[in-house]
């Protein structure tokens, strides 16, 4: 069978209900809510750790004597390791036994967290962050698969709502918690905090989670596939992390990385579709719900990360808020996401998921348009309604989208499906962050040049402002020449600040447009199933 045939081969199933993918009894696993608590705790650790480190980087630089480029590897090493592991989690779970692999990953993550905090050199810290990423990459994906299997099919929306709480609320908690721990106890405690949480999660999973009955160990190891994956994903992720800093394809090293990522990626897909026991089973994408949901997840990832990761930067960089103040400001939106997911988790089983996703996309886009009107003088209250709308919209999109994506997968396909879905959603987020960083730089320079034209043309208002600042500097004891230079410097900072505000405004408009692009793509979604088990056929 050809590669195209492998991907596009699809059983005719318009007139039949979805395959029942779950092995759980009719009422779910016996301790399903304890399992939910344990796996969400594990996923939450991984998500928080992706963002908690960023606020502590300045303290690490001073303590370890590292430059900005050097300390960036504390984040980059973790991201590279975890992104490479994510698509392998299905195969690794089968090879080692999913429960053993899950617990082992938590232990690796927890021990590496302690050793990160105990590190006294940059090299040691980066090394243990890479090990931590190897353990952390499994936590979110395996958690999702375990949770989906532990609840009965009619409660799949509830299961994904519980999972979404960790995935969506984590990025909000991370910077706030990181700022508090760093300011009051020192940066090692952003790692030590994982130790009791990891021990609790591992103990509960040992006690309540069980391996699937039909789990089979792969008879062989596809070492070539693993190597191709590491080369392709590693090259692509590094390119996305550092491409903007090195002017993308103007740099020979970035061009080489892009070529390596494309070539090894194509060879990887070809190999995994043509061998009997692939390490990544791309064949799960033959299910229409799976590939459509994955495509929608990439689009949502790009649009979502445009706001989730730029807003804290704007609040701290332009409005001079601390990490704790930023976290407090973002908290209501996170609570709105949690409440929305709790409600939508039940609605997903009763209503057409496309309607819920559409409403969520409209709310999210409306919030982005409201955020596009921010100014350099905006205060906390100016963000409240937009963040509530964004939080509710996120909950309404995430839960039904995840549910419909995994709906057609059989029990055996579920681990591979969750791995691929999370991998591509993460990849969409990385693409979004890279694109946003480039566009922010471009827009800021563009709008600064436009605003500067008013200064060069002798605008009376600008000249009056410059004279006022000069007199203020003279009044503080500066001589006339120094006062004038300081006044020009202050005016230049104000100009750059205004250009930055306009650039962020443009980014939020683009984010709204990207999220709205989800709506027409929903016509590709074919069907889902009601709570009672009767199929809804979506033409």
- Within 8 A by CB and 6+ apart from 334, the residues are 168, 169, 172, 173, 391
Inter-residue contact 397 to 353 (CB < 8 Å): no
Instruction: Centre a 10 Å sphere on the Cβ of residue 475 and count the other Cβ atoms it contains.
Output: 9
Q: SS3 helix, strand, coil % of the chain, rounded to 5?
A: 80, 0, 20
Rounded (5°) CA angle 102-27-14? 90
Question: Taking Cα atoms as reference points, which of 47, 46, 62, 50 lies closest to residue 110?
Answer: 46
What does the domain layout of the chain look like in residue ranges? 3-219+277-444+501-537
**Per-residue pLDDT tens over the stretch 273-319:** 888 888 888 888 888 888 888 888 888 777 776 666 677 777 777 77
Instruction: Give me the residue label for tokens 């395996």.
Output: 142
Q: Give mean pLDDT, residues 205-230.
A: 80
Inter-residue contact 163 to 142 (CB < 8 Å): no
pLDDT at 263: 92
Question: Taking Cα atoms as reference points, which of 416, 424, 422, 420 lies closest to residue 212?
Answer: 416
Indicate the pTM of the whole model.
0.73
Q: What are the residues facing 371 on neighbouring strands?
A: none
Instruction: Centre a 10 Å sphere on the Cβ of residue 65 and count the other Cβ atoms it contains.
Output: 11
**Per-residue pLDDT tens over the stretch 329-359:** 777 887 788 788 778 877 777 778 888 888 9
Poorest-confidence range of 121-135, 237-251, 271-285? 237-251
Share of the chain above pLDDT 70, in %: 79
Residue 251 phi, psi dihedral angles, 5° rounding = -95, 130
Instruction: Give me the residue label for tokens 């006294």.
Output: 120
CATH code at 3-219+277-444+501-537: 1.20.1250.20
Question: Taking Cα atoms as reference points, which of 349, 352, 424, 406 lies closest to residue 149?
Answer: 406
In Å, how far are 55, 61, 178, 402 from 132, measured between CA atoms? 18, 20, 17, 26
Split at pLDDT 50, 70, 90, the class of 534 is: very low
CA–CA gap between residue 480 and residue 46 (Å, rounded) = 56
């Amino acid at each position: 069978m050809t590669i195209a045939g492998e991907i596009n081969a699809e059983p005719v199933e318009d007139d039949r209900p979805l395959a029942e993918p779950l092995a759980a009894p009719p009422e779910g696993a016996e301790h399903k809510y304890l399992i939910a608590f344990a796996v969400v705790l594990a996923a939450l650790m991984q998500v928080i750790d992706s963002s908690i480190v960023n606020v502590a980087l300045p303290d690490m630089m001073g303590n370890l004597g590292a430059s900005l480029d050097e300390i960036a590897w504390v984040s980059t090493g973790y991201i590279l390791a975890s992104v490479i592991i994510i698509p392998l989690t299905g195969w690794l779970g089968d090879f080692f036994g999913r429960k053993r692999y899950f617990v082992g990953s938590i232990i690796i993550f927890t021990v590496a967290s302690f050793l990160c905090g105990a590190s006294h050199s940059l090299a040691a810290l980066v090394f243990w962050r890479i090990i931590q990423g190897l353990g952390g990459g499994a936590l979110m994906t395996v958690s999702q698969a375990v949770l989906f299997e532990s609840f009965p099919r009619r409660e799949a929306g509830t299961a994904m709502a519980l999972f979404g709480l960790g995935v969506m609320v984590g990025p909000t908690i991370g910077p706030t918690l990181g700022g508090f721990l760093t300011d009051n106890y020192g940066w090692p405690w952003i790692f030590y905090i994982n130790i009791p949480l990891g021990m609790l999660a591992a103990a509960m999973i040992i006690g309540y989670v069980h391996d699937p009955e039909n789990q089979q160990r792969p008879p062989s190891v596809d070492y070539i596939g693993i190597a191709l994956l590491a080369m392709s994903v590693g090259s692509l992720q590094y390119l996305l992390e550092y491409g903007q800093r090195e002017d993308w394809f103007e740099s020979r090293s970035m061009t080489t990385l892009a070529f390596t990522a494309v070539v090894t990626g194509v060879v990887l897909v070809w190999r995994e579709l043509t061998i009997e026991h692939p390490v990544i089973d791309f064949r799960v994408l033959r299910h229409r719900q799976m590939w459509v949901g994955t495509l929608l997840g990439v689009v949502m990832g790009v649009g979502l990360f445009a706001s989730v990761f730029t807003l804290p930067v704007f609040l701290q960089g332009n409005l001079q808020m601390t990490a704790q103040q930023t976290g407090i400001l973002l908290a209501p939106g996170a609570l709105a996401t949690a409440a929305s997911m709790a409600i939508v988790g039940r609605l997903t089983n009763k209503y057409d998921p496309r309607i819920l996703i559409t409403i969520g996309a409209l709310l999210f886009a409306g919030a982005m348009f409201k955020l596009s009107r921010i100014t350099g003088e905006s205060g906390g209250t100016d963000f409240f309604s937009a963040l509530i709308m964004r939080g509710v919209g996120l909950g309404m999109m995430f839960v039904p989208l995840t549910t419909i994506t995994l709906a057609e997968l059989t029990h055996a396909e579920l681990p591979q499906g969750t791995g691929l879905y999370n991998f591509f959603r993460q990849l969409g987020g990385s693409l979004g962050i890279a694109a946003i960083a480039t566009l922010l730089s471009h827009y800021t320079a563009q709008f600064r040049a436009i605003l500067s034209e008013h200064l060069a043309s002798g605008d009376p208002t600008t000249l009056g402002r410059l004279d006022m600042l000069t007199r203020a500097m003279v009044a503080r004891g500066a001589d006339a020449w120094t006062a004038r230079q300081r006044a020009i410097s202050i005016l230049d900072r104000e100009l750059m600040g205004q250009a930055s505000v306009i650039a962020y405004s443009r980014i939020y408009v683009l984010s709204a447009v990207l999220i709205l692009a989800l709506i027409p793509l929903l016509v590709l979604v074919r069907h889902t199933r009601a709570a009672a088990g009767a199929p809804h056929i979506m033409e």
